[in-house]
Amino acid sequence: MPSAACDEADTSEMNGGDASFAQVMGTGTFRSILPDTVWPAIAGPRAASLLALQYQLERSEWFPPEQLRQEQFRQLQNVIRHAGASVPYYGKLFAEHGIDANAPLDDAQWSKLPLLSRVDIQQAGDTLISTAIPKSHGEMTSLSTSGSTGMPVTIKGTALTQLFWLALTLRDHLWSGMDPAKKFGAVRFMKKGGAEFPGERHKGWGGAADPVFVTGPSFVLNIMTPVEKQIEWLQQTRPDYLLTYPSNLMALLTHCRHNKVAIPPLQLVETFGEILPPGVRDATKEAWAVRVVDMYSTNEVGYVALQCPEHEHYHVQSENLLVEVIDEGGRPCAPGQTGRVIVSTLHNFAMPLLRYALGDFATVGKPCPCGRGLPVLTNIVGRVRNMMTLPSGDQIWPTFGASKIGDVVPIRQFQLVQKTLTELEFHVVPQRSFTSDDEAKMRALITRELGPGFQIAITYHEAIARGPGGKYEDFRSELPA
Ligand SMILES: [Zn+2]
């Protein structure tokens, strides 16, 4: 078992983040369906669709905002016409709000549309499903979302929505500068197997990269696997890229730092599913000399925003979703402002979601210096239920030095729970028993980050459970919303 010190990790490939499609085309080998014709490769039907979309995405990402908006409305016009005619929920809603589904779509028409909430989706049931899904969109797919808000919903899609999901997955691989010939590992939620599950090996990377490129193998491990076992697995499978949740990345980093182990030849960690706390990128660079690429995706609508190939903020995936960030008065947020994230699906003709309030908040950014016209989000700040209420009554999304906590005292897991306006509970799974000095240090760190006025009780646990869908919350509030 290799057990080199963390600081000996290979740093030679750290600067691969600005690879464009053209550069990857130079390193990745296209897959050909004709065994005797490998160059240039003859793409199969699925690869041809994905490559044709990628060709367009490579161009549309540079469109100025007005052009993107225009194209989005051109597509949304079709969605609205379809929804008005075949989705009972929208037929009624459009009538109630004086929306003519056949009138040219403009900002005035659009703003008449009320927001759609998760409760609306639950209550609408089958009336949100089209009675005339175009046959050309392929088979209907069904996805039950995790219900981490305690309100599970089922979202329908089609083979077409699936194709867009794959196209954006491929864009993500390309933007991240991944070489598809290398090894890809994932530690994530899996329906099968628990902590004892040994993981799976696949011949390729999956439905996005495999049809297009000759891919290396991939490995998947269940997120329920204890951290020590994950490290062993990473050392055995030796992936170049790792996909996992930010909370799991932090647990791996803490373990590596305290046990002086490395996981070569890892080059890049891609995080998803949770908010990436500040400091985790730097901590990963420091411990492993590895960069972090984060993404913003949701179960209901897929990729909302991907990290810019050249910067650490996110570009909205405008070719698949219209994303609005609005303030409390419903007005669009200006750069620097944080507001609610509202999404509209451009290609879901089975269950169109129009102006759906995801429940997330994000900060709008200025146009990106990289030149891409896709709108910028600088920060994804979380859900209302993850807001902390300060003793003053002010609400914040708490940052409490999540990445520093493991440095104060070695811990396996933690979660901060707000019980009342002035009482917090710090739940911890320690690596060793805390001394009273450790407890004092921990309280001091939290107080320094959050400000005074809280009583902090520290409670000890064997494990802290992940929520439905494998998500882990380092903060949750038990105050009534
Ligand atoms: Zn950019």
CA of 373 to the centre of ligand 1 (A): 8
Query: For residues 184 and 11, what is the distance between their CA atoms, to the nearest angstrom?
Result: 18
Q: What are phi and psi of 359, to 5 degrees?
A: 95, 0
Long-range contacts of 328-336 (CB under 8 A, 24+ apart): 333/363, 333/364, 334/364, 335/364, 335/365, 335/366, 336/363, 336/364
- What is the 314 CA–ligand 1 centroid distance (Å)? 7
Single out the residue of 460, 438, 439, 456 nearest to residue 447, CA to CA.
456
Regarding whether 397 and 343 lie in a shared domain, the answer is no
The CATH number given to whatever domain includes residue 391 is: 3.30.300.30
Statement to judge: residues 150 and 20 lie in one domain:
yes
Start-to-end C-alpha separation, the chain: 49
* Model confidence, pTM: 0.85
Backbone angles phi, psi at 254, to 5 degrees: -60, -45
Residue 218 CA to ligand 1 center (angstroms) comes to 28
Burial 63-91 (b: 16+ CB within 10 A, else e): beeeebbeebbeebbebbebbbebbebbb
Strands 388-389, 395-396: pairing kind: antiparallel
Distance CA 458, CA 460 (A): 7
Beta bridge partners of 302: 298
Ligand 1 centroid to Cα of residue 342, in Å, is: 21
Claim to verify: residue 320 and residue 452 sit in the same structural domain: no
State residue 12's pLDDT score.
34
Nearest residue to 156 via CA among 121, 117, 187: 121
**From CA 266, how far away is CA 135, in angstroms rounded?**
44
pLDDT at 50: 97
CA 172 to ligand 1 centroid distance, Å:
13
Which domain-ending residue is among 383, 416, 440? Answer: 383
Show which of 383, 398, 417 is a domain's final residue: 383
Nearest to 17, CA basis, from 266, 216, 280, 311 = 311
**Same domain, residue pair 130 and 234:** yes
Helix (H, G, I), strand (E, B) or coil at 481: coil
390 and 404 belong to one structural domain: yes
**Are 374 and 402 in a shared domain?**
no
Q: From ligand 1's centre to the CA of 55, what distance in Å? A: 18
Whole-number Å distance, alpha carbon 71 to ligand 1 midpoint, is: 20
**What would the two tokens of residue 281 be?**
């990128």
Structural contact between residues 355 and 116, judged by C-beta atoms closer than 8 angstroms: yes
- CA–CA distance, 471 with 468 (Å, rounded to integer): 6
Helix (H, G, I), strand (E, B) or coil at 230: helix
Cα–ligand 1 centroid distance for 233 (angstroms) = 34
Which of 419, 411, 410, 409 lies closest to 454 in space, CA to CA? 419
Measure 357 CA to ligand 1 centroid, in angstroms. 25
Distance, CA 298 to ligand 1 centroid (Å)? Answer: 21
Give the Cα-Cα-Cα angle 71, 77, 80 (nearest 5 degrees).
140
C-alpha–C-alpha distance, residues 368 and 311, integer Å: 8
Distance 64 CA to ligand 1 centre (A): 13
Residue 335 DSSP one-character state = T
Domain boundary among the residues 331, 359, 383 is at: 383
> Is the same domain home to 461 and 356?
no
What is the C-alpha to C-alpha distance for residues 477 and 443, in angstroms, rounded to an integer? 18
Q: Give me ligand 1 centre to Cα 62, in Å.
A: 10
Coil vs helix vs strand at 92: helix
CA of 254 to the centre of ligand 1 (A): 31
Alpha carbon of 61 to ligand 1 centroid (Å): 9
pLDDT of residue 9: 33
Owning domain of residue 340:
1-383
Q: How remote is the CA of residue 184 from the centroid of ligand 1, in Å? A: 25
**Reduced to 3 states, what is the DSSP secondary structure of residue 397?**
coil
What distance in Å separates the CA atoms of residue 117 and residue 59, rounded to the nearest whole number?
33
- Ligand 1 centre to CA of 311 (Å) is 6
Task: Tell me which amino acid residue 128 is.
Answer: L
Residues 70 and 147 in one domain: yes
3-state secondary structure of 118: helix
| Rounded CA separation 269/243 (Å) | 6
Instruction: Tally the domains of the chain.
Output: 2
| Residue 368 CA from chain centroid, whole number | 20
Distances (CA, A) of 56 to 51, 68, 230: 9, 13, 39
Residue burial 374-387, b: 16+ Cβ < 10 Å; e: rest = bbbbbbbbbbebbb
Give kind and range of the element (H or E) at residue 321.
strand 321-326
Task: Report the separation in Å between the CA atom of 372 and the middle of ligand 1, taken as the mean of its atom positions.
Answer: 5
Q: Do 355 and 466 share a domain, yes or no?
A: no
- Closest Cα to residue 223, out of 473, 447, 452, 472? 472
CATH number for 246: 3.40.50.12780
- Token duo for residue 413: 């897991």
Cα(210) to centroid of ligand 1, in Å? 27
If you measure from the C-alpha of residue 315 to the centroid of ligand 1, how many angstroms do you get, rounded to a whole number?
A: 7
How many Å lie between the centroid of ligand 1 and the Cα of residue 317?
A: 12
Ligand 1 centroid from CA 329, angstroms? 29
Whether 393 and 379 map to the same domain: the answer is no
pLDDT of residue 16: 37
CA 278 – CA 273 distance, rounded (Å) = 15
Looking at the fold, whether 330 and 392 belong to one and the same domain comes out as no
Return d(Cα 20, Cα 16) in angstroms, integer.
10
Sign of the alpha-carbon dihedral angle for 231, 232, 233, 239: positive
Residue 445 Cα, ligand 1 centroid: separation in angstroms?
Answer: 35
Per-residue pLDDT of the chain (481 residues; tens, 9 = 90+): 333 333 333 333 333 334 455 455 446 899 999 999 999 999 999 999 999 999 999 999 999 999 999 999 999 999 999 999 999 999 999 999 999 999 999 999 999 999 999 889 989 999 999 999 999 999 999 987 755 445 678 899 999 999 999 999 999 999 999 999 999 999 998 877 666 778 999 999 999 999 999 999 999 998 888 888 999 999 999 999 999 999 899 889 988 988 888 888 999 999 998 889 888 999 999 999 999 999 999 888 999 999 999 999 999 999 999 999 999 999 999 999 999 999 999 999 999 999 999 989 999 999 999 999 999 999 998 766 677 888 888 777 776 666 677 777 877 788 889 999 999 999 998 888 889 999 998 999 888 888 888 999 999 998 887 766 667 778 888 887 6
Q: Are residues 324 and 409 in the same domain?
A: no
Distance 306 CA to ligand 1 centre (A): 10
CA of 81 to the centre of ligand 1 (A): 33
Distance 175 CA to ligand 1 centre (A): 10
